[in-house]
Amino acid sequence: MNYSMIFYLIGWTLNAMAGFMTLPLFVSLYYGESSYLYFIPVIAVSLVLGISLVHKKPKNTVFYAREGFTSFTSVALIWIVLSIVGSLPFIISGEIPHFVDAVFETASGFTTTGSSILVNVEKMSRGMQFWRSFTHWIGGMGVLVLLLAIVPLVGGHNFQLMKAESPGPAVSKFVPKIKKSAAILYAIYIAMTVIQIILLVIFKMPVFDAVVTAFGSAGTGGFGIKVDSMASYSWQIQLITGIFMMLFGVNFTVYYLILTKKFRQAFGSEELRVYILIIALSTLAITFDAGEYFNGFGETLNHAFFQVSSIITTTGFATFDFNVWPTFSKSIIVLLMFIGASAGSTGGGLKVSRIIILTKSVYRELQRTLRPRSVKKVRFDKKPITDDTVRSVGVYLAAYFLVFSLSVLVLSLDNFDFTTSFTATAATINNIGPGLEVVGPAGGFSEFSDLSKIMMIFNMLAGRLEFYPIFSLFYLPFKR
Amino acid sequence: MNIIIVGCGKVGSTIAEQLQIENHDVTVVDIDEEVVNELTYKLDIMGVVGNGTSNTVLQEAGISDADIVIAVTEMDEMNLLCCLIAKKTSNCNTVARVRNPIYSNETEFLKKELGISMIINPELAASQEVSRLLSLPSVIEISTFANGKIEILKLKVEKNSVLCGMTLIKMRKAIPGNVLICAVEREDEALIPTGDFIIEAEDYIYIIASKKDSQLFLSSLGLFTDKVKDTIIIGGGGLAYYLATDLLYLGLDVKIIEIDRERCEELSELLPKASIIHGDGIDESLLLEEGLTTASSLVALTNLDEENIMLSLYAKKISGEKIKTVTKINKITFDEVISSLNLGSVVVPKNIMTEHILQYVRALENSYGSNVETMYRLVNGKVEALEFNVNEDSEVVDIPLKSLNIKKNILISCINRKGKIITPGGDDAIHRGDTVIVVTTESGLSDLSEILD
């Protein structure tokens, strides 16, 4: 394993962090707050550590192609460093004094979960609110992807890093050079964020709110600056946010294909079509089920769409306390939590492509069992589903299940009701944010014990990085 | 440049790796998914799984923007068809590997009618390399620049050589022939020597000079500069055929030992002036019978690398250093081990083909405006020798070399001024319009100004 490479990457991450933190610093100065003082020491320390670590470029820039350790462990460590260093401003300023709470909130930010331990977010300073939401934006597309785009990183093995950090069963390249691919991703990401901000401001959302909401939608995170999340904004603002959340949950390759005018390929994506279908059906189902809470069909549709879009993309914004909805609607919501967004987007969950592959592999297995002599290829997006594909998705599901079970068990020690422990686990592993009951949209995570919070931090990181990078840290001692 | 490589075998993947290092946008195409995945995972390139002769697949690989398409699959016909389709679709440059001798005789026709820019026959290319090595028997490797006017020759310093113990400065005064030692391989390490560097026995030195000067230098050292007079070739395949044809034309006595009776008959019809011996080349008694002890050269061209290695080692053992041996290596890649064995010159056909294709790409890029005209790798890839054009006024122009603040481990080895070859001393300066040969252990130099600190 290439240790010098790992430290080099952590060094760049720290430098990047220092860079990122300058934005909330300026926001804080703009609003005339004192919170900027707390960013300065963290920026300084990050920069000093960062520069000293990147000073010596690692001599051996090779990670042997099939050796996954270095890339996976780097990614895991980088995200842990992000969560801890990113929490320092909250701790130093006293706005989130308790260490575990601060790391929880920060991890929730970077992993774009959106679960919060804050009881009243509106009391937080603008600078800190901005930083909190900005972590969503950074974590959504990924820190390593950003570094790959702008930093002269090493060797031709950058693809392994990108693959380790990016969600989904397969990562595709747009163009031969990784640097360009990463730059293209970020360009699309930035453009969409800016468009959303502009649209929100046009519909009379205050600029600060618009920026924060756009960050939360782009990263599909869900941190807001109001206790009632998005409930008090106008229906137009809610609709725009609903649409943009849905857009950020689409595989970014589709956007690249659209930009390069390959429309048929773009809209022919099976995952895209299933994704839209699920959203459409769920929205309609909830509209007919939860109508009693709203005035009229239009309003119901708007709220249903918003909530479906928010949960399937694992954003977590809410326009209504859906905890009071009828059980059918709530069940749909919970199932959407597991389905998740498309691969290659900023969303979490199992991912629509995995769901499709799993479903089709059941069909395939059925074919083989009932008609063993018949030869029929089951395809996903024109490629046949091979034993390898089924195996890797199946094992992923197993990893998911193991972590899920452990979490439910640990959380149950706090003695909340079962739905709470269950949906709190679901909300953190799938990087959604709110769950049901105690952790519903009207509640929060503040009442859990420190042990549970630590378990949930693990869930959030494991879910965002898709398990294996985090697992690799535990595998280290057994490596020999 | 945008480059598409069809066929991810050893040659395809080596070219892809090298071109990607030289900053080109590379896309590979192969019908085997695993191979493509493996390569795109390892290298900063894109891959498409599919048949390279299909227009759809080529479109997906980006043929409409491609500058060069390199077809190096196992099948000649696929390579030719791929280039034809590529040329029709996008009018780019095309390179095809074609091994079948039937086609080799018609390369001009194929190039013209199918619009292919370059056709490479790996065996023909290798045979030309062997021919060159046999014409300068004391030399282990030859690399040429400036259309052959400048040569870098690799020599071994034997224990009894006058060079042992000399510094470079002394050597220039003592031995006639205006040559510069631009690189030294000592015990697997690559060194760029300065004036006070002392040459030791068992060193491998790379000298750079004009053809005339290198001849003078070699003969002053008492090293034979005459071509060999005869050769024994073990193995009668395609390479042997091309080589024999060339050597016979140059007036050498050629003896080929081939194990397959039918092939022997074929060869005797194709090469009436050569002696064709039917037998197993690794039979010691046969070799001695056929005059190994008096032969001036042995070329081991069987299909098995192990046999070729043993043959060369044996020849050197029996005849001593006076016999020139050339060993063909196909598959084995343990470079450091191979270079530590006393095999004489080693010829790796796939590497030769790769080098030719890379030279072509660099020359094309050069015509698009880059400044590197030619590049070779010496000392197992640890040293690069680059030929730079000095077109614009760069910071190195018109300043005496001794006043230039050049980085360590870079040597300005040769200046070609309108055909005049200059071995530069401290007072010489680089002028606009020159080409300069730089030898360095640093990789990735793409502009002459990068030699400065």
pLDDT tens figures, B110-164: 888 888 888 888 888 899 889 888 888 788 888 888 777 888 888 888 888 888 8
Structure-token pair, residue B376:
């070779």
In the beta sheet, which residues pair with residue B158?
none
A459 in B contact zone (CB under 8 Å): no
Closest residue in A to B17 (Cα–Cα):
A156
- B279 lies in the same domain as B340: yes
Average pLDDT over residues A425-443: 91
Torsion (CA) B254, B258, B263, B264 in degrees, nearest 10: 60
Residues B341-359 have pLDDT tens digits of: 888 889 998 888 888 888 8
CB B449 within 8 A of CB B372: no
Report the alpha-carbon distance of residue A244 to residue A213 in Å, rounded: 10
Nearest-CA neighbor of A79 among A164, A178, A160?
A164
Residue B310 reports pLDDT greater than 90: yes
Instruction: Identify the pLDDT of residue B32.
Output: 93
Higher pLDDT, A448 or A293: A448
The chain-wide mean pLDDT, for chain A, equals 88
Higher pLDDT: A294 or A447? It is A447
A·B CB contacts under 8 A: 31
| Burial tier of B249 (Cβ tally within 10 Å: 0-12, 13-18, 19+) | exposed
Q: Judge whether residue A154 has pLDDT over 80.
A: no
Residue A381 C-alpha, separation from nearest chain B C-alpha, in angstroms: 15
Q: What span, in angstroms and rounded, lies between the C-alpha atoms of A110 and A101? A: 14
Above 90 in pLDDT, residue B390? no
**Closest-approach residue (CA) in chain B for A64:** B42
Per-residue confidence (pLDDT) for residue A374, from 0 to 100: 82
Residues A41-53 have a mean pLDDT of 92
Tell whether B314 and B335 lie within a shared domain: yes
For the cut 80, the answer to whether the pLDDT of residue B203 exceeds it is yes
In a domain? residue B266:
yes
Greater confidence, A161 or A26? A26
In a domain, B272, yes or no: yes
> CA triplet A224, A227, A233: central angle to 5 degrees?
70
In a mutational test of the B interface, the residue from A154, A159, A385 whose CB has the highest number of chain B CBs within 10 Å is: A159
Distance from CA of A345 to the nearest CA of B (A): 21
d(Cα B242, Cα B123) in Å, to the nearest integer? Answer: 8
pLDDT at B73 over 70: yes
pLDDT band at B403 (very low <50, low <70, confident <90, very high): confident
Q: For residues A49 and A152, is the Cβ–Cβ distance under 8 A? A: no
Residue B258 lies in a domain: yes
Q: Residue B302 belongs to what domain range? A: 230-344
Q: Do B234 and B198 share a structural domain?
A: no
Model confidence pLDDT, tens digit, residues B242-295: 999 999 988 889 999 999 999 999 999 999 999 999 999 889 999 999 989 889
Size (chain A), residues = 480
Contacts of A177 in chain B (CB under 8 A): 25, 44
Confidence of residue A143 (pLDDT cuts 50, 70, 90): confident
Looking at the fold, whether B206 and B272 belong to one and the same domain comes out as: no
β-pairing verdict for B410-417 and B420-422: antiparallel
Decide if B438 is inside a domain. yes
Helix axes A126-141, A36-54, angle to 10 degrees: 30
Query: What is the domain-level CATH number for residue B418?
Result: 3.30.70.1450
**Residue from A104, A98, A113 nearest A86 by CA:** A104
Q: Look up residue A259 and give its two tokens.
A: 């930009």
Residues B312 and B412 in one domain: no
The contacts of residue A305 (CB under 8 Å, 6+ apart) are: A239, A242, A279, A283
Give the domain CATH number at B262. 3.40.50.720
Tell me which residue in A65, A175, A176 faces B41 most closely, judged by beta carbons: A65
Query: Residues B228, B231, B235, B236: what is their CA dihedral angle, to the nearest 10 degrees?
Result: 100
Residue B175 at interface with chain A, using a CB cutoff of 8 Å? no
Three-state SS across B45-87?
CEEEECCCCCHHHHHHCCHHHCCEEEECCCCHHHHHHHHHHHH
pLDDT of residue B322: 82
Q: How many domains does chain B have?
A: 4
pLDDT at B343: 85
Q: Are strands B410-417 and B435-440 parallel, antiparallel or unpaired?
A: antiparallel
What whole-number distance in Å separates Cα of residue A55 and Cα of residue A349? 38
Identity of the residue in A159, A176, A177 whose CB atom sits nearest the CB atom of B41: A159
Residues 7-46 of B with CB under 8 A from A: 17, 20-21, 25-27, 38, 40-46
B81: tokens are: 């068809």
In angstroms, the separation between the Cα of residue B237 and the nearest Cα of chain A is 36
Tell me, yes or no, if A157 comes closer than 8 A to chain B by beta carbon: yes
Average pLDDT score, chain B: 87
DSSP assignment letter at B247: H
For an interface test with A, which of B42, B49, B60, B443 has the most A Cβ atoms less than 10 Å from its Cβ? B42
Report the gap between the CA of A350 and the closest CA in chain B (Å).
24
At residue B179 the predicted structure's pLDDT band, cuts being 50, 70 and 90, is confident
Give the closest-approach CA distance of B29 to chain A in angstroms.
12
**DSSP SS3 for B275:** strand
Phi, psi of A373 (to 5 degrees): -85, -15
**Co-location of B145 and B251 in the same domain:** no
Q: Smallest Cα–Cα separation from B132: which of B123, B144, B121, B120?
A: B144
Q: Does A160 touch chain B (CB under 8 A)?
A: yes
State mean pLDDT over A269-287.
94
> Same domain, yes or no, for B287 and B310?
yes
pLDDT, mean of residues A39-64: 81
Same domain, B205 and B290: no
pLDDT mean over A460-469: 92
What is the predicted pLDDT for the residue at B225?
A: 61
More confident residue, B221 or A201: A201
Q: What is the mean pLDDT of residues A260-288?
A: 91
Q: Which two tokens stand for residue A88?
A: 């320092």
- Looking at the predicted structure, is the pLDDT value of residue B433 above 90? no
Looking at the domain assignment, is residue B349 inside a domain?
no
Q: Which tokens in the block code for residue B87?
A: 């040329």
Query: B41 and B60 share a domain?
Result: yes
Residue B289 lies in a domain: yes
Q: Domain limits of chain A?
A: 3-175
Portion of chain A with pLDDT greater than 90, in percent: 54
Q: Do B43 and A156 touch (CB under 8 A)?
A: yes
The residues near A398 (Cβ < 8 Å, ≥ 6 apart) are none
The whole-angstrom distance between residue A322's C-alpha and the CA centroid of its chain comes to 21
Cα-Cα-Cα-Cα torsion B94, B95, B100, B105, nearest 10 degrees, comes to 80
- Of B68, B102, B120, the residue at which a domain comes to its end is B120
Interface test with A, best of B46, B60, B65 (most A CBs within 10 A): B46
pLDDT in tens, A301-313: 999 999 999 999 9
Q: Which residue, A351, A376, A328, A357, is CA-closest to A430?
A: A351
Q: Which pLDDT band holds residue B368 (cuts at 50, 70, 90)? A: low
Confirm whether B225 is domain-assigned. Answer: no
Q: Do B304 and B401 have their domain in common? A: no
Confidence category of residue B232, pLDDT binned at 50, 70, 90: very high
Which alpha helices (H) appear in B136-221, and where do they start and end?
168-174, 211-220
Instruction: Find out whether B110 and B80 touch, Cβ atoms under 8 Å.
Output: yes
Q: B245 vs A251, B120, B128, B228, B264, CA distance in Å?
A: 60, 18, 11, 15, 15
Distance CA B310, CA A184 (A): 54
Q: Do B44 and A160 touch (CB under 8 A)?
A: no
Which of A145-159, A371-385, A398-412 shows the lowest per-residue confidence on average (mean pLDDT)? Answer: A145-159
